[in-house]
Structure 1
């Protein structure tokens, strides 16, 4: 039960980071000279979040491969869509159109960052120290 709770907490944290990611990229997505550098921001934030997810996975989940689908599936089916709908209901129409566009265009990049972070977090976590603690 504790393992399932940890995976859901990690999934909610990832969904919150997704909302932060969308808002930060939407702020930079204004008609200005910075628009030409938007791809650098998208990939830079994806790399940063992949590293954060790696650390979160290493310290929260540990060396358990079952955690990957238990984090990704609830994130995709429940938390991401729920938090995104809340965000869209709170902002004005033009900003929500920008959020929708960025959600569709950068969603695959963020999903790859999640998968890479989770997989490498499980790989580099020390299985033997975790087993001795329990």
Structure 2
């Protein structure tokens, strides 16, 4: 039960980072000279978040491979959708269109960052301290 709670907390944290990611990239996605560097921001944030997810996985769930599906499935089916709808209800229409576009165009990059962070977090965590 404690492990399931830890995985759900990790899924909620990842969903909150997804909302932060969308907002930061949407701020940079304004018609200006910065638009040509938007891909660098997307991939840079993906690498940064993969490292954050690696550390979170290492310290929250530990060396348990079951954590990956227990984090990914609720994140994709519940938390991401709920937090994204809350964000869209709080912003104006033009910003909401930008958020939707960025959600569709950068979602696969962020999902790969999550998977890489979770897998390497499980791999590098200490398997002997998993019962703590």
Band of TM-score, shorter chain? over 0.9
Which residue pairs with 1:21 in the alignment? 21
Q: 1:95-110 counterparts in 2 under 5 A?
A: 95-110=95-110
Q: Does 1:111 align with 2:97?
A: no
| Distance of 1:129 and 1:78 partners within structure 2 | 30
Query: For structure 1, which runs of at least 5 residues remain unmatched after alignment?
Result: none
SS in 1 for 2:129: helix
> Which whole-Å deviations, capped at 9, do the CAs of 1:6-39 have from their partners, x for residues lacking one?
0000000000000000000000000000000000
TM-score (norm 2): 0.99
Q: 1:1-134 counterparts in 2 under 5 A?
A: 1-131=1-131, 133=132
TM-score (norm 1): 0.97
> Which whole-Å deviations, capped at 9, do the CAs of 1:96-122 have from their partners, x for residues lacking one?
000000000000000000000000000
| Distance of 1:67 and 1:19 partners within structure 2 | 22
| Displacement of 1:130 | 2.7
| Distance of 2:81 and 2:73 partners within structure 1 | 12
> Which whole-Å deviations, capped at 9, do the CAs of 1:68-98 have from their partners, x for residues lacking one?
0000000000000000000000000000000
In the TM superposition, structure 1's runs of 4+ consecutive aligned residues that sit over 2 Å from their partners are none
- Matched residues, number: 132
